[in-house]
């Protein structure tokens, strides 16, 4: 009964969803394209009888990249289909993985639509990154006896309370999942309270720690930095920023320029369609700036570079001396601080880091993460890092240490996946 109500509601919401996509398309035209994929029409776009991996948005896609690359390496005969729900996740997947995988949007969780999609892909194994619960998809996979594994699963206290409202329906649904690989024991306990069986759970650790700097990325970063800062000017990056944060960042940068006139800021809005708004803020402060897509090389007079593309953040972290990670000065919960940690640079974040509570706690305890709350504290902390080289290097090294100390989830997950894939090896 509950599944029927869910499906009926989802059908009724379709006009609102179309309107939402059309409105979002005003700022980003990508939202107005590929609608057929959202309804399971992907014939000719995917390779069949392999692995289907779903990463809902950009953050989950970034986390999934090392896993996808390793699966490609270990099981080259098995095609991989990567799905997303957002244009930013889609663009990143295509940019990083290219033609090594097939890529489409995951369709809406309507029974007929999802059945059409699964009949086209015919996956041998389905992997969903983190915790995406799609009732009709889960039910169809269970009926068709296709293994479903939730990888890098997490379940916050708040989400668990929300699921508890649906009681037996959620318990029955979760028991149809083959295996849930959770990030830690606390997440596991919350899943158990929802009705998941112990035999379905395994703790693998957090895949986000298993990122690394690819040699080709390191080489590109060295060349880019040499081209950008021929006079050894310092660079700081404000990444994945949201509305309400850029004003604070730009004001802090204006103050910093009085003390460090050669300082360069790279600002990368979380959603590239907001670059025009960021440009307007910078122009009001009369700062010399350029947009990354112009392919211009910053001159000594350039004070800000605006990143307006998806997929280059790791490259830009690699040329920066320190990084502010956005979504944290507002109640968004913060974005992944481990990407700058992989480059051994100090990390600054606001007080709202509930999306990465444990990671940020570990980084802060090790003095790899510095908390800022406003323009003044951001100015003071960046100023200290620029003035004290030993302190800056120490903070970066400690962030890198936390990242590397916690690696291992990828290998654990690959070991778990092997029995489901080894059957297809011969």
Phi-psi region of 289 (alpha: psi -120 to 50; beta: other; left: phi over 0): beta
**Residue 168 exposed, middle or buried by CB count within 10 Å (0-12, 13-18, 19+):** exposed
Active-site residue, 216 included: no
**CA 334, CA 339: separation in Å to the nearest integer?**
13
Q: Give the list of residues 6+ apart from residue 332 with CB closer than 8 angstroms, or none.
A: 242, 326, 352, 355
> What beta strand segments (E) does 154-214 contain?
179-182, 201-203
Catalytic member of 37, 60, 339, 381: 60
Kindly give the pairing relationship between strand 369-371 and strand 347-349: parallel
Question: What one-character-per-residue DSSP string does 149-166 give?
Answer: EEEEE---HHHHHHHHTT
> What beta strand segments (E) does 72-171 contain?
80-84, 102-105, 125-129, 148-153
Evaluate whether 148 touches 122 at the Cβ level (below 8 Å): no
* Ramachandran angles phi, psi of 124, nearest 5°: -85, -25
**CA 240, CA 324: separation in Å to the nearest integer?**
9
Looking at the annotation, which residues are catalytic? 60
């Amino acid at each position: 009964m509950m599944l029927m109500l869910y499906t009926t509601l989802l059908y009724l919401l379709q006009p609102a969803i179309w309107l939402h996509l059309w409105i979002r398309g005003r700022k980003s035209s990508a939202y107005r394209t590929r609608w057929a994929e959202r309804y399971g029409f992907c014939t000719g776009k995917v390779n069949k009888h392999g692995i289907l991996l779903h990463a809902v948005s950009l953050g989950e896609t970034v986390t999934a990249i090392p896993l996808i690359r390793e699966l490609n390496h270990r099981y080259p005969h098995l095609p991989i289909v990567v799905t997303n729900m957002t244009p930013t996740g889609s663009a990143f997947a295509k940019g990083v993985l290219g033609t090594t995988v097939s890529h489409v949007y995951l369709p809406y969780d309507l029974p007929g639509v999802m059945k059409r999609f699964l009949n086209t892909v015919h996956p041998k194994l389905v992997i969903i990154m983190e915790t995406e619960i799609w009732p009709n998809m889960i039910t169809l996979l269970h009926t068709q006896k296709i293994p479903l594994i939730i990888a890098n699963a997490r379940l916050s206290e708040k989400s668990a309370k929300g699921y508890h409202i649906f009681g037996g329906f959620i318990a029955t649904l979760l028991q149809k999942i083959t295996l849930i690989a959770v990030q830690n024991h606390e997440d596991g306990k919350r899943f158990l309270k929802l009705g998941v069986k112990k035999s379905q759970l395994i703790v693998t650790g957090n895949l986000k720690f298993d990122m690394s700097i690819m040699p080709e990325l390191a080489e590109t970063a060295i060349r880019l930095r040499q081209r950008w800062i021929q006079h050894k000017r310092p660079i700081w990056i404000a990444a994945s920023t949201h509305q309400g944060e850029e004003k604070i960042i730009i004001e802090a940068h204006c103050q910093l320029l009085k003390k460090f006139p050669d300082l360069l800021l790279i600002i990368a809005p979380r959603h590239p369609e907001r670059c025009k708004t960021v440009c307007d803020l910078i122009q009001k402060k009369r700062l010399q700036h350029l947009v990354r897509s112009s392919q211009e090389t910053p001159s000594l007079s350039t004070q800000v570079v605006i990143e307006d593309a998806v997929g280059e953040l790791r490259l830009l972290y690699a040329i920066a001396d320190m990084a502010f990670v956005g979504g944290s000065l507002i109640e968004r919960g913060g974005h992944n601080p481990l990407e700058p940690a992989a480059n051994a640079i100090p990390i600054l974040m606001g007080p709202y880091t509930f999306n990465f509570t444990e990671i940020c706690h570990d980084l802060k305890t090790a003095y790899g993460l510095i908390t800022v709350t406003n323009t003044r504290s951001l100015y003071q902390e960046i100023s200290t890092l620029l003035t004290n080289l030993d302190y800056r290097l120490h903070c970066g090294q400690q962030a890198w240490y936390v990242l590397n100390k916690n690696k291992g989830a990828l290998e654990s997950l690959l070991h778990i996946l092997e029995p489901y894939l080894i059957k297809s090896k011969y």
